Amino acid sequence: MDDILINISYIVSIAIEIGVPVILAFYMWKKYKVSWALFFLGILLFLVSLCRIPLNNIFSLYIGRNFTGVMALMLAGLFASFTAGIFEEGVRALAFGFIIKSRSYEKAVMYGIGHGGGGESMIFVGISVLVNFIIYRLFPGILPADLLQQVADIAWYLPLVGALERILTIAIQISLSVLVMYAFLKRKYYFILVSILYHMIIDFVAIYINYRFGIFLSEVMLFIFAGISIAIIYILRPRKSEVEIKEA
Q: Which residues have CB under 8 Å from 86's CB, separation 6+?
A: 52, 196
Q: Angle at CA 58, nearest 5°, toward 82 and 210?
A: 50
DSSP string, 17-75: HHHHHHHHHHHHHHHH---HHHHHHHHHHHHHHTTHHHHHHHHHHHHHHH--HHHHHHH
Domain of 88 in residue numbering reads as 2-247
Q: How much is the pLDDT for 247?
A: 42
Q: How many domains does the chain have?
A: 1
Instruction: Split the chain (248 residues) into runs of 10 and give each run's mean pLDDT.
Output: 78 92 96 96 96 94 87 91 96 96 95 93 86 78 70 79 92 97 96 97 93 88 96 91 48
Q: How much is the pLDDT for 147?
A: 67
Q: How much is the pLDDT for 1?
A: 57
Q: How much is the pLDDT for 114?
A: 96
Q: How much is the pLDDT for 222?
A: 94
172/78 Cα distance (integer angstroms): 19
